[in-house]
């Protein structure tokens, strides 16, 4: 009897840990020298840099709007948003169309889209909230992949921002 209970317990544990290590795919992008990851489930599309229509009276990091399949989508400069120097547009520059829960789709300008990586929960380290509370921080976790560090975007920080 005892044995069977134990084995049941271990099965449960195994299931739990498997659930916890459900792999998440991240799109890895480059901003300057650093690598950032965005949960692929939040990505709608990746498009080449294009002409952005300027909208007056907006904060500097909001670059304007683009046309995405007939929808008007705001584009923001992640670099300016994080307090880095302005984007340098190159051939590798892309706009990531990100789905936000409340506000709908928003475009992020990134220097380069590198790859898609699969991370397990065990590879991801949450950053304590007092660091993320710091103004302008959009990062809430760091992932490890092949010995490199990938900062993971906290999309709620982007969407909550009152611009």
Partner 1 sequence: MDVSQYLEIFLDETNEHITNLNTRIMELESDPENMDTINEIFRAAHSLKGMAGTMGFKRMQNLTHDMENVFSEVRNGVIKVNSEIIDVLFQCLDALEEYKDNIQGSADEGTNDNEPIIKMLNAILNEGGKSPAKEVPKHTASSGQEGGNKWDHITLDDSQVTVIREAQKQGKRVYGLNVMVQDSCILKAARAFLVFKAVEERGEIIVSDPSAQDVEDEKFDRDFTLIILSDVELDEIIEASEAVSEIEKVVGAEIDLENNKSAHAVPEEREASEEEENPGEEVQSASAEVPAVSDGQAASAAPAAKTEPKKQAPAKPVVNRTVRVDIEKLDSLMNLVSELIIAKNSLVSVSSQEQTDVNSAFNEQIEYLESVTTNLHESVMKVRMVPIESVVTKFPRMIRDLSKKLDKKMELYMTGEETELDRTVVDQIGDPLMHLLRNSADHGLEPAEVRIQRGKPAVGSIFLDAYQEGNTVVIEVRDDGNGIDVEAVKQKAIERGTITAEQAVNMSDKEIIDLLFLPSFSTAKKVTDVSGRGVGLDVVKSMIESLSGEVEVKSKLGEGSTWTIRLPLTLAIIQALMVVVGEEKYAISLGSIQTLEDVPASDVKLVQNKEVIHLRGTVIPLIRLNEVLDVERKPVDEENLIVVIVKKGDRLAGLVIDELIGQQEIVIKSLGRYIKQCKFISGATILGDGEIALILDANTLI
Whole-angstrom distance, CA of residue 118 vs CA of residue 143: 10
Pick the closer one to partner 1 by CB: 41 or 57. 57
What is the closest distance, in whole angstroms, from the C-beta atom of residue 129 to partner 1 in the complex?
24
Pick the closer one to partner 1 by CB: 20 or 55. 55
What is the closest distance, in whole angstroms, from the C-beta atom of residue 133 to partner 1 in the complex?
22
Pick the closer one to partner 1 by CB: 15 or 71. 71
Q: Which residues bind partner 1 (CB under 8 A)?
A: 51, 53-58, 62, 65-67, 70-74, 100, 102-106, 159, 163
CB 38 within 8 A of CB 155: yes
Half-sphere exposure of 148 (CA within 13 A, CB side): 12
CB < 8 Å & 24+ apart, contacts of 72-76: 73/97, 73/104, 73/105, 73/106, 73/107, 74/106, 74/107, 75/106, 75/107, 75/108, 75/109, 76/106, 76/107, 76/108, 76/109, 76/158
Pick the closer one to partner 1 by CB: 65 or 84. 65
What is the closest distance, in whole angstroms, from the C-beta atom of residue 98 to partner 1 in the complex?
11
Where does the chain show beta strands of DSSP type E? 24-31, 34-39, 43-48, 62-68, 71-77, 94-100, 104-110, 112-119, 124-126, 139-145, 148-153
Pick the closer one to partner 1 by CB: 46 or 100. 100
What is the closest distance, in whole angstroms, from the C-beta atom of residue 110 to partner 1 in the complex?
17
What is the closest distance, in whole angstroms, from the C-beta atom of residue 44 to partner 1 in the complex?
13
């Amino acid at each position: 009897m005892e044995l069977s209970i134990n084995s049941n317990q271990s099965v449960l544990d195994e299931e739990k840990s498997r659930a916890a290590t459900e792999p998440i795919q991240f799109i890895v992008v480059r901003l300057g020298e650093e690598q950032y990851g965005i949960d692929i489930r939040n990505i709608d599309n990746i498009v080449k840099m294009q002409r952005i229509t300027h909208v007056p009276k907006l904060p500097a990091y909001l670059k304007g709007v683009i046309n995405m399949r007939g929808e008007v989508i705001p584009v923001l400069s992640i670099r300016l948003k994080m307090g880095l120097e302005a984007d340098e547009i190159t051939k590798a520059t892309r706009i990531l169309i990100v789905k936000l829960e409340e506000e709908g789709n928003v475009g992020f300008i990134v220097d380069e889209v590198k790859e898609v990586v699969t991370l397990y929960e065990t590879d991801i380290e949450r950053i304590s909230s007092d660091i993320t509370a710091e103004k302008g921080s959009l990062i809430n976790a760091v992932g490890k992949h092949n010995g490199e560090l990938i900062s993971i975007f906290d999309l709620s920080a982007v969407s909550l921002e009152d611009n």
